[in-house]
Each structure stands twice: as structure tokens, then as C-alpha cells.
A and B are shown apart, each in its own frame.
Chain A
Amino acid sequence: MQIRIASACYISLRSIGTLSLFVLGRMGRMGLFLAMAFLYTATPPLKLDRLLKQTRFIGFQSTLVILLTGTFAGMVLGLQGFYTLNRFGSAALLGPMVALVLIKELGPVFAALMVTARAGSAVTAEIGIMRITEQIDALELMGLNPFRYLIVPNLLAAIIALPLLTAIFDVVGILGGYLVGGRLLGVSGGTYFGEMATYVDMKDILEGIYKSLSFGILLIWVCGYKGYYTGFGAEGVSRATTQAVVLSSVLILIWDYFMTSVLF
């Protein structure tokens, strides 16, 4: 009996140990991947044509989805905010409420989630397909560094595009909130925008920009890593893409909480 219990304990401990080593190994590899991405971003040469292409893809081509989601997020906030604030006789504060929620939280988070779904998944799939079709090996054999071609342009493009997309999201969201709260529910434009100018500080805007910058790095880190170390075949790429989107989205929300609670 005692031997059986000892054996079960040994197997459990071994499983925990194996799992811990696996998780630590993966985390270490992800950490090294990020360090290499930063190293090659900070050192020349920079592939400018790739950077422009990826900025267009991650930034410009995400504009429509950002416009749509930003407008409707602002409209919903305007609607909910108006009815909630009206209960306390504070409907005049609708403008600052919509603006602060968008600028500090919803703008950076929603924009990052939209870009993850639209561009992050594509980055994983593209790099993953290049991996399984040996295109990355071909780059290496030409004496070229795959990080400079595949990861650095995406990382810089996300750093450039995310704050801009977040700003667009915030602006159309605030206008969407005004459309509902002002035009439909009767809060005057002067009150909506005037109170916003009183209550929204530069610090709030910077908070949103810092968050969007860090989300840009985070999403390319995860999506790039998952593509670079994808599994075998079409199934491997498909699994890597799903994991990249899910992990990026979860990490964005977790990181948002830590940034808000620790830094601001």
C-alpha cells in the first residue's frame, strides 16, 4: 500500500516537474524571441520597404474596422452613459465619461483586439506558412537574417500604427457618443465637448498612448513568435494562428489591468 502511494506521489511530482520545465522553457524561448526582436530593431540595417508595406497592412488597412467599431462603441457608451448619469442628475457629464472611458481603456484595448484579429492572425499565418514551406530557411541560406525581414518590420509597424489607430478609435467613439447623447437624447454640444475639455487631461491621453504602444509590441511578440515556431503542416499553422489570437487577446487584457493598476 505504502509503495503504491509513494509511486503515485513520484509520478505526480514527475508530471509537475516535466510540466514546469516545459512551461519555463517556452517562456524562456518567448523571452529570447522578444529580446532578439528588440536587438535587431535597435541595430541597422532596417528594411524600409518591408516596414512601409507592413505599416500599410497593419495600420492603413485596419482603419475601416477601427472606424466601425469605434463609432458603435462610442454610441453604446453614449446611450448607456446617458441613462446611468441621468439617474443621478449628471447627464451633463456624459462627454467626459465617454471620453475618459474611451481614451484610457476602451480605445487602446479595442483597437489592439481588432488589430490582433485582423492583422495579428495574418502575421502568424504568413510567417507560419513561410516556415513550413522552408522560405525562412531559404532566407537564412542567403545569409539574411529572418528577424530583420519578418519580425522587425511588423514590430515597428505595430508601434507606429497602434497609437494612431487608437487615436482614430477615440475620436470616432467620442463623435459616436455625441451622436447618441447629443443629437438623439438632448445633451447640448457645448456641454458635451465643454465638460470634456475640463475633465480630460493630457495625462489621460498619454496613458492611452502608452497602453496602445505596449499592446502593439505585445501582439507582434505573440503572433510573430507563434508563426516563427509553428507546428507542422496546415494543421500546425492553423493551430498556431488560433493560439496567437487567443493568447494575444488574453495578454492584452491582463497587461491592461497591470498597467492601469501599477503605472497609472
Chain B
Amino acid sequence: MIQVEDLHKSFDGLEVLRGVSLHIRGGEVLSLMGMSGYGKSVLLKHIAGLMKPDRGRILIDGEEVTSLGRGPLERLRSRLGFLFQGGALFDSLTIGENVAFPLKEKTSLNPHEIRERVRYELEQVGLTDAENKYPAQVSGGMIKRAALARALVRDPEIMLFDEPTTGLDPIIGHTILTLIASCHKRLNFTGIIVTHQIHQVFQIVNRAAFLHEGKIRMAGSPHDMMASEDPVVRQFISGSVDGPIRY
């Protein structure tokens, strides 16, 4: 469903992506791992069409994202949900209004139907009581859950999660991953999750890929990753200071 082919991207001469190739099948959830600052978020933003690559291409259902015009790109994005690292909730709107926003702007649902849908999504993420609160009035975990509700409110076929658990305590982080798993069961989306909670995310994904030095160093099932003999992969998964990866 998502095909990334030989993707290159540089920023001010610094080559972040150096020929990334990756394939994600329909309905599959893939965990994208890698060290901080090594281009995982950049790769997600390319898949969402928010960035243009220097070289290479991305195909979603055979359609090349990198060469789409504004109209076709908007149509493609209507099938896509994105959970940003910081939530990216509109701070001038309440949690309820944030979740309602995509429905209000991009669907023909009436206000009553939108209200019902928003309540349902907020209930799914356990935020019924926070509907009338502003993002500044709630915790980081609640912001992530609200952002998840907003991303899922239009039943996307593809979901991209950019560090959904970063900055959260382990219990809330686990709760978010469990929520993602239950949403996947409900919607059967194709997903990519960027997270550093490796052991927990391995319980909910079908496959994992390890991005290192601008390329996919290894891709496989969580079991394959855990059993990998590659010293770089092993060091990253174990979180050891000693090994080939040096900071």
C-alpha cells in the first residue's frame, strides 16, 4: 500500500535520508525505529506529502505522492490521519471543537451528527469530561489522546503516529499504545508508529523497520528484530552504551 523508493533528503547540506526504501502492506502496522534526529519524522512527513524529497518517490496505492498537485494531494490526505509529536491541537479551540474541526470543514454532516461523532471518539479515548477544556488546561497525555481522537475521527485508511508516547510516563505511554491497537482493530488502518518504547510497541505491530544513517538497516517482524545479530540493531534495542553506535 505504501511504497518508499530510494528517498533522499538534505537540509542545509546535511543528508538526513540517504536512499530510504520501505514497503508497508495494506492493514499492516509498522514500527519505525531509529535514533533521535535520524530522520524518522522527516520520513513520515514525506509520506504525508508535507515535504518534498530531493530524490526518490513515495507511492500510496500506486499514486505517486511526491508529484501530486494540490487537488489530488488533498484527496489523498482525506484518507490519511497524522498524530503529531506535540499533538498540534488548535489552542484557540476546545478539545471537543478540535475533534469536530475536520468533520465540520470536510464533511457534510449536520451539527447534531458531528456532536454525536465527537462524543463517540472522545469516549473511545477516555476524554468525555474534557470536551469543553482548552488544550492549555489539560495534561500532555490528554493532549495526545485528544489528538488521536481528532486524527481518527474521519476513519482514515492510513495512520501515521509521530512519537505518540514521547514525554509521557510509562503507564500513559502504554495506554496510548493500547488505544492505538484497539483503534487499529476497529478501523483496520495501515499504520506507521515512530516510538522509542520498543518492547511495548512490538506487542501491537506486525513489522518493524530500523532507520540508521539515512537508510533502512533492517526490516522484519518484531521477533526477527529481537533476534537480530546485527550489532547496531542489538545495541539500539538493548539501549546499551557500549557498541558500534557512538554519540
Point out residues on A near B: beta carbons under 8 Å. 129-130, 133-135, 137-138, 140-144
CB contact under 8 A between A144 and B105, given known A133-B86, A133-B88, A137-B84? yes
Chain A's closest residue to B73 (CB) is A143
Is the beta-carbon distance between B78 and A143 smaller than 8 angstroms? yes
CB closest residue in chain B, given A137: B50
What sequence of 0s and 1s flags, for each residue 35-75 of chain B, a beta carbon within 8 Å of any chain A beta carbon? Answer: 00000000001001010000000000000000000000011
> In the complex the two chains form, is A143's CB within 8 Å of B84's CB?
no
With a cutoff of 8 Å between Cβ atoms, the chain B residues found around residue A135 in the complex are: 88-91
Q: Mark B78-119, 1 if CB is under 8 A from A, else 0.
A: 101110111011110000000001100110000000000000
- With both beta carbons as reference points, the residue of chain A lying nearest to B105 in the complex is identified as A144
- Determine whether the beta carbon of B77 is less than 8 Å from that of A140: yes
Docked Cα-Cα span, A137 to B82, in Å, equals 10
Hey, which chain B residues are within 8 Å of A141, CB to CB?
48, 50, 77, 80-82
Q: A134-B84, A134-B85, A137-B50 are in contact. Are A143 and B90 (CB under 8 A)?
A: no
Q: Which residue of B lies closest to A134 (CB)?
A: B88
Contacts of A142 in B (CB 8 A): 77, 101-102, 105-106
A142 CA / B106 CA spacing, docked (Å): 8
A144 B106 Cβ-Cβ under 8 A:
yes
Quote the shortest CB–CB distance from A178 to chain B (angstroms).
43
Distance, CA A248 to CA B89, complexed state (A): 30
With contacts defined as CB atoms under 8 Å apart, how many contacts are there between chain A and chain B in the complex? 43
Closest to B82 in A: A141
* In contact, B105 and A138 (Cβ under 8 angstroms): no
Q: Given A137-B50, A138-B82, A143 and B77 touching (CB < 8 A)?
A: yes
Q: How far is the CB of B44 from chain A (nearest CB, A)?
A: 11
Smallest CB–CB gap between B145 and chain A, Å? Answer: 16
How many chain-B residues does the 8 Å CB contact rule pick out?
21
CA distance A133 to B106 in the complex (A): 22
**Could you list 25 examples of A-B contacts with CB < 8 Å?**
A129-B91, A133-B86, A133-B91, A134-B84, A135-B89, A135-B90, A135-B91, A137-B50, A138-B84, A138-B88, A138-B89, A138-B90, A140-B77, A141-B80, A141-B81, A142-B77, A142-B101, A142-B105, A142-B106, A143-B75, A143-B77, A143-B78, A143-B106, A144-B105, A144-B106
Closest Cβ neighbor of B102 among chain A residues? A142
A216→B77 CA distance, assembly (Å): 34
* Chain B hits for A140, CB < 8 A: 50, 77
Given A133-B88, A134-B86, A143-B78, 6 other A-B contacts at CB below 8 A? Answer: A133-B91, A135-B90, A138-B90, A140-B77, A141-B50, A142-B106
Taken together as a complex, chains A and B put the C-alpha atoms of A141 and B33 apart, in Å, by 23
Which of A129, A130, A133, A143 sits near B74, CB closer than 8 Å?
Answer: A143
Q: Which residues of A contact B82 (CB under 8 A)?
A: 137-138, 141
Q: A53–B214 Cα gap in the complex (Å)?
A: 45
CB nearest neighbor in B for A141: B82
The residue on B at minimum CB distance from A143 is B74
Q: Which single residue of chain A is at the shortest CB-CB distance from B147?
A: A138
- Residue in B81, B86, B88, B90 whose Cβ sees the most chain A Cβ within 10 Å: B88
The residues in B between 160 and 195 inclusive whose CB is less than 8 angstroms from any CB of A are: none
Closest chain-A Cβ to B109's Cβ sits at a distance in Å of 15
Most buried by B among A130, A137, A138, A140: A138
In the bound complex, what is the Cα–Cα distance between A130 and B86 (angstroms)?
A: 12
CB distance from B45 to the nearest CB of A (A): 8
A137 to B50, alpha carbons, bound, how many Å? 7
In the docked arrangement, what's the CA distance between A129 and B89, Å? 12
Note all chain A residues with C-beta closer than 8 A to B102: 142
- Report the minimum CB–CB distance from B191 to chain A (whole Å): 15
Q: How far is the CB of A195 from chain B (nearest CB, A)?
A: 50
**Separation of A129 and B91 alpha carbons in the complex (Å):** 10
Chain B nearest CB from A49 CB (Å) reads: 10
Q: CB-CB < 8 A to A133: which residues of B?
A: 86, 88, 91
A134 to B87, CA, bound (A): 8
Q: Which residue of A lies closest to B162 (CB)?
A: A134
A129, A130, A133, A142: residue with the most chain B Cβ atoms closer than 10 Å: A142
* Closest A-B pairs by Cβ, 3 of them: A134-B88, A143-B74, A138-B88
**Across-interface contacts of B48 in A (CB, < 8 A):** 141
B106 surroundings in chain A (CB, below 8 A): 142-144
- Nearest CB to that of B75 among chain A residues? A143
